[in-house]
Amino acid sequence: MGFYVAQFLTGLASASSLFLVAAGLSIIFGVTRIVNFAHGSLFMLGAFIAYSISQKLGFWLAVPLAALSVGAIGWAMERTVLSRLYAAPELFQLVATFGLVLIIQDAALWIWGPTDLLGPRAPGLTGVVRILGQPVPEYDLFLIAVGLMVLGGIWWMFTRTRFGILVRAATEDREMLQALGVRPARLFQVTFFIGAALAGLGGALEMPRQPASLLMDLNIIAEAFVVVVIGGMGSVVGAFLAALLIAQLNAFGILILPEITLVAAFAAMAVVLIIRPYGLLGKPATTQPHAVEIQPPQTLAGYGRIAAIALVAVLVVLPLVADSFVVVLTGDIMIFALFAAGLHFMMGTGGLISFGHAAFFGLGAYAAAIFVRDTGAGMEIALILAPAAAAVGAAIVGWFAIRLSGVYLAMLTLAAAQILWSAGVQWQDVTGGDDGILGIWPAQWASGTTAYYYLTLALASTGIAALMMAAGGRFGHLLRAGRDAPARAQALGIDIDRRRWAAIVISGTAAGLAGGLFAFSKGSVFPDVLAIPNSVDALVMVLLGGLHAPAGPILGASVFALLEDSLSRLSYWRALLGAAVVGIALFAPGGIAGTISAWLTGRRKETA
Amino acid sequence: MLDVKSLTGGYAGALAIEDITFSLGASESLALLGRNGAGKTTTLKTLMGLLAPWSGGIEFKGAAITGQSSDRIAHAGIGYVPEERRIFESLSVTENLVAGEKPGRSGRIDWTVERVFGLFPEIARRSAAQAGTLSGGERQMLAIGRALMGNPELLLLDEPSEGLAPVVVNRLGDALAALRSDGIAILISEQNRNLARRVAENLVILETGRVAYRGNFSGLDGDPAIATRLLGV
């Protein structure tokens, strides 16, 4: 009995920091309608900053000072980047906060270095208390108290202060509140400060429990997303309940089966979403989607078609004239162009955001690799299994996702990818863990560099052409209708949800095929293929090329690969990528293709 | 007090009002009449800064407010009661009023929660209730009270009678007449001529986004043909 009580208290203590992060995320979303992907980064900064301050001023000063510093960083983030994006489409807001994740990640690497930093323990709270004979760390009890105090404090602020009333009013109807004379900018700044400070506090309080590390940001954000999805976006009490639920699932799940904890969180989320699509205490979003500029259908016409044929012709001739390095590089670019084209199809034509597309790429790669390793059978079947496995994965994620709006989809895909990545690392019996799966080579006939290049060319170009045709055809039109005017499309009798689901599955299938091709191209599979950076790469390719240009993914993948080839040796390559992502969101939402075509149209108008 | 000159505007590419011109003297009131879709709501939204004017000018108390953000327009001294009321449903009645609280132009504070409750005892009785549970009439009173908490000199009322029982409309008329005698200027858009008449002497009738008639209620009463043609009654 005592053991279970102790385990329960441990769960409560973990729930505290999770709640601090999720509450901040939820408050910020409520007021600004922005899902701040960089919220986990603020948590991580809280841990690092608290560590640094504690070296000079000790633990008890470090915690509040770190929270305030992170609050200030959140405020600066809002001022410099996010405040410019309130009128932008949701996608670009999400993408910009995602870019901030990469920048903060590298900034932390630059300041604190790659090694984990274990902070001091809390003076005065280093002992244990015996509860029913079981030792419970005093610090855990302190954390539980802090969680409850913060919940009480937020409740007090929301109900007893004018600021809190304004925050709640803004959550409901920002435009009306502004018409009453409340300047949103001020409200947003204060909200960001408070939300960020809560994340920073959560990170600082982790000091005695776990070392500050560069992995903290994405780990906590994936968990916090699960929490806010379960609790209901914008509901602080919901976040509290959900944090409790997840933390207890973790605390007790680990007793039964260590591997189950990841799956348990996801399963809990799945159950909640089926019963209450907007979370335990959430309400359906009442805000209208932003008015979007209507984009032309993504068809290749005129010069585009000629360019496509010319490109394929060049690619066919390439191995005859180029050396093997160029051939291998080009093969890789084609694989990533296929991966990006799948994502582009879903995001550009479908308006469906995926921040975890590596999940499907990785599913394809692992499906192929596991099949080859366990059966010894050949590449041909594996390359059919790869997209099939990814399609199944996409169908499962998509089934939950289509019930929800864009931000939920982004969170869900990120959480799914993070969980699969954890499985890739931890489920050693099947995936080989960090050692990966080796010796995944193509069939005899395709084993040469040139032969595999042609196989890649055939499959990737077929895949990309099929995606383009789908985007430009009837299916694409219906998807676009669902993207630009969902209510009207539904009123016309178009089953948008079914199309969206299909789009996610198609997109996942393309990613899976790319993953399978990638596995045989490298001869091995490691958990990297499932990791967040791989998702980010695909996202950057799509945005770089141009979200609404048919050639976007090909262009994006090519430019990205060339940049990566020349720049990835730089130590802070990720930060550069992040800055590029933020820059595209702020200044060139059309990407390369969009910017060029806007420039051409402008010139045509001038000369006319 | 309010000078609207050749105001033209609408929604994302769809013209809704064109060349609207009218003015309001200090403490004066004006009724904006017209059928559904005539442009009454668009006019008020554009005045309030919720829609950007395409062209034309708006002056309030001698200063141009054209194209300013709605919070600045509110601070200039204009209170807004939208057609859908748009009360904050998850907040209590009192909290709704607190959300609208701001001093008037010269720092004057004429309105308090107590004074609003004095004007509308109906919502005073439900001060702690969630605003989402209020009836239509109570919602309208709350929306007006919330606008008054900002100590406006001009009140924009968008079809306050819509969807309300005659007895409630009558009650609103009493309250608006009391506000008039307090010296608050009112620009009221209405389809209910009897309510508009209790609030304003002068009127402007809009038809398909343009000013079709300008005058006062006694003039309108003397010309039933106009009323039939422009208002359909």
ipTM: 0.95
Residue A298 has pLDDT above 70, yes or no: no
From chain A, which residues contact B within 8 Å (Cβ)? 162, 165-166, 168-169, 171-173, 175-184, 291
Residues of A within 8 A of B151 (CB-CB) are: none
CA A594 to chain centre: 24
SS3 category, B89: coil
Res A288 pLDDT > 70: no
Helices (H), B13-62: 40-48
User: What is the set of domains in chain A, with CATH numbers?
Assistant: 2-275 (1.10.3470), 325-563+571-607 (1.10.3470)
Average pLDDT over residues A269-293: 67
Helix axes A449-472, A303-321, angle to 10 degrees: 170
Q: What is the DSSP letter of A37?
A: T
Taking CB atoms and an 8 Å limit, are B99 and A169 in contact across chains?
yes
- Distance of CA B50 to CAs A92, A170, A320, A477, Å? 24, 16, 63, 32
Which of A173, A516, A580 minimizes the C-alpha distance to A364?
A516
Which candidate from B48, B90, B150 shows the least CB-CB separation from A172? Answer: B90
pLDDT digits (tens, 9 = 90+) for A324-347: 888 888 888 999 999 999 999 998
Residue of higher predicted confidence among B53 and A479: B53
- Between the CA atoms of A550, A551, A555 and A558, what dihedral angle is there, to the nearest 10 degrees? 110
Angle, vertex CA A403, rays to CA A400 and CA A405, nearest 5 = 110
Of A100-104, A298-302, A428-432, B186-190, least confident by mean pLDDT is A298-302
How many Cβ atoms from other residues are within 10 Å of residue A186's Cβ?
12
DSSP SS3 for B213: strand
- Measured between CA atoms, the residue of chain B closest to residue A176 is B86
Interchain CB distance below 8 Å, B75 and A291 = no
pLDDT band at B29, cuts 50/70/90? very high
Q: How far is B22 from chain A (nearest CA, A)?
A: 22
Q: Give the pLDDT confidence score for residue A259 in this predicted structure.
A: 64
| Chain A nearest-CA residue for B128 | A159
pLDDT for res A177 = 95
Task: Give kind and range of the element (H or E) at residue A417.
Answer: helix A406-426
Rounded to whole angstroms, how far apart are CA atoms A177 and A182? Answer: 6
Predicted local confidence at residue B129, as pLDDT:
94
Q: In 3D, which of B15, B2, B57 has the Cα closest to residue B209?
A: B15
Question: For A179, which of B50, B91, B95 is closest by C-beta distance?
Answer: B50
Looking at every residue in chain A, the average pLDDT score rounds to: 85
- Give the domains, in start order, of chain B with CATH numbers: 2-231 (3.40.50.300)
A294, closest residue in chain B (CA to CA): B12
pLDDT at A605: 55
In tens, the pLDDT along B142-185 reads 999 999 999 999 999 999 999 999 999 999 999 999 999 888 99
Measuring CA to CA, which residue among A558, A560, A565, A551 is closest to residue A595?
A551
Task: Quote the strand ranges of A388-541, DSSP E.
Answer: 437-438, 524-525
pLDDT band, very low/low/confident/very high, at A415 (cuts 50, 70, 90): confident
Q: What number is the average pLDDT over the span A205-225?
A: 88
Residue A83 is encoded by which pair of tokens?
């405040």
Q: What is the pLDDT of residue A296?
A: 58
Which residues make Cβ contacts (< 8 Å) with residue A254, sequence separation at least 6? A260, A261
pLDDT, one tens digit per residue, over A554-590 is 888 888 888 887 777 777 888 888 888 888 888 877 7
3-state secondary structure of A370: helix
What pLDDT, on a 0 to 100 scale, did the predictor assign at position A343? 92
**Least CB-CB distance to B71: which of A172, A178, A291?**
A178
Phi-psi region of A121 (alpha: psi -120 to 50; beta: other; left: phi over 0): beta
Q: Considering only the beta carbons, identify the residue of B48, B91, B147 that sits closest to A165.
A: B91
Residue A603 pLDDT: 64
Q: What gap in Å lies between CA B165 and CA B171, rounded to an integer?
A: 10
